[in-house]
Amino acid sequence: MSRLVRKPQVPDEHLSDLERVLRSDLDGVAIPNSDPGDTYLVRLVKYVPGEVLAFFMVINAILGQAIKAGGNDAAMAGVPVSVVAVGALIVSCLVLTPLFCWYVREDGDAWIVNAIVSTIAFPFWAYLMGAVAFADHRDGNLAAILVLTFTAVSGVISPSARKLKLREELAATPKEGPRLVGALGG
């Protein structure tokens, strides 16, 4: 099982039928040599950027301790802790989350869709977990409602199916070496 959402795989001859019929009409219809991809519940779990959130929560705990020790005027290397907290949130969300999705991708993963949804999900989860960047606006009840709503909606986002035949043809096509080497060799 992949760590990222898997794309459904449909053989080329069935793809035109798949595009004409709504996906909900195909529930329960078995298409030979196909892989339906991840289900709604599996997508719910895979869209949560758990590894990046864990890393962020360690940074957030350090920042929280700095604020407890130094109060609202606490600083790190002359920079207010609140500014460092917002910077850590932005870097974790916009850089580390998509980078992680790219890094752990496997063949058949919809890593771009996963990166987009996980990047959007990150601030919701960080808010729920008490990120220092949101300290002035923290409301636990609102955080729970936002995470539950976003998570339920995100499971509906399903990557489009990919064509097996085209992918297999590309994999079977031998790649040619550099032309310059062939020309000089003889």
Please state the domain extents for the chain. 9-185
Q: What is the pLDDT of residues 128-183, one digit of tens each?
A: 999 999 999 999 999 999 999 999 999 999 888 765 555 555 566 655 555 555 55
**Could you give the 3-state DSSP secondary structure of residue 120?**
helix
Quick one: pLDDT at residue 53? 95
**What is the reported pTM?**
0.72
* Torsion angles phi and psi, residue 169, rounded to 5: -65, -40
* Torsion angles phi and psi, residue 16, rounded to 5: -65, -40
Quick one: pLDDT at residue 116? 96
Alpha-carbon distance 166 to 172, whole Å?
10
